[in-house]
Amino acid sequence: MSALRVTATAPGVVKLFGEHAVVYGKPAIAMAINKGIKVTVEETNDDSLVILAKDLSVKGIAIRVTGGLIEGNVIDDGQLSKLASYALTALRLVSERYGGDLRGIRVIIESQLPIGAGLATSAAVSVAAVAAYARLINVKLSKEDIAKIGHSVELTVQGAASPMDTATSSIGGVMYIKPGIELKRLSTSLKIPLVVGYVERELTTSELVKRVKALYGKYPAVVEKVMDSIGAIVDEALAALNKSDYVALGELMNINQGLLEALGVSNHRLSNIVYMARRAGALGAKLSGGGGGGAVIALAPGVEDKVAVAVKLAGGEVILIDADYEGVHIEDYN
């Protein structure tokens, strides 16, 4: 039986190794975190498709559907209208594939994460919206199906995206991603004691992906070697995870940060946090995600508190996280 109201939650994601190079087919390792995005999709009695965002400390937006056509009527600025376009595209792709009328639908987005801080909020919105709307129209999708549609949502909205964030948000846990070849959840039970910090972003992920592409175009022989080295780091990191070798994981994070610097995606504030975290005892620290501001992760077994203070002193906000092993799930329906 069809539900009238469904809520799905999808976790945010930290990128442990391999961001940017993963766009060029290199492997990456990412971990789902226990804070994420909640999307509620409910039937209403009118003809409109309304997308609202709650608790984001930004105004809501409304998009109206008339006679089956969607007219974008965005009453908002930057980040929120972006989030709404991921939710809208998710509903569109599901309804194109499986049927379902988009009229008379209200979508509510709630976040436990700072939006746009590089913790995969757009992937989590896409994944949660696909899961919630599919359940509303009574279509059964596996987490792998949701990951694939979620990736199509990101590709449609952004133009370029690897499957890393959407796969990790859908499936949960620690994921090894090799685009087009392999998508594997790692069986590691190793606790990865991370301090996560973030600063405001100067550039979006898609702008940074374009920058890296331009650098690659200009110096192909050089950048190719950087990408290959990041790929090699990921393979070493896989071995270090299997051996529960924190020291090696930290060192590999530091080398990965150096190569992200080489690609031009770190900035002064991020690098400052990275150095302060290392000085406070972190075994390794790097930016996580697209860069240009956004998230930093520091591997800090036994010194989490000290490293968190250092991140704050360096101007970052700290978010307390743990791993999530559940991935996207339906929380509630009736």
Q: Which amino acid is at 282?
A: A
Using a 10 angstrom Cβ sphere, with 0-12 exposed, 13-18 middle and 19 or more buried, the burial of residue 203 is middle
Give the max Cα distance, the chain: 60
Q: Is 211 in the site for ligand MEV (CB under 6 A)?
A: no
Rule CB under 6 A: choose which of 85, 205, 257, 266 binds ligand MEV.
205
Rounded to a whole number of angstroms, the minimum distance from the CB of residue 135 to ligand MEV is 26
Catalytic-labelled residue, pool 145, 165, 228, 322? 165
Residue nearest ligand MEV by beta-carbon distance: 162
Q: Is 161 in the site for ligand MEV (CB under 6 A)?
A: yes
Give 196's strand partners: 297, 319
Compute the distance between CA of residue 318 and CA of residue 195 in angstroms, rounded to an integer.
7
Q: How many residues bind ligand MEV (CB under 6 A)?
A: 14
Q: Is 26 in the site for ligand MEV (CB under 6 A)?
A: no
Torsion of CA 123, 126, 128, 131, to 10 degrees: -130
Rounded to a whole number of angstroms, the minimum distance from the CB of residue 216 to ligand MEV is 13
Beta carbon nearer to ligand MEV, 8 or 124: 124
Identify whether 305 is a catalytic site residue: no
Rounded to a whole number of angstroms, the minimum distance from the CB of residue 118 to ligand MEV is 6
Task: Write out the H or E segment, with its range, that includes residue 169.
Answer: helix 164-171
Residue 42 and residue 137 in contact, taking contact as beta carbons nearer than 8 Å: no
Q: Which amino acid is at 301?
A: P
Q: Is 290 in the site for ligand MEV (CB under 6 A)?
A: yes
* Residues that are catalytic: 165
Site residues for ligand MEV per CB under 6 A: 15, 19-20, 22-23, 120, 161-162, 164-165, 205, 209, 289-290
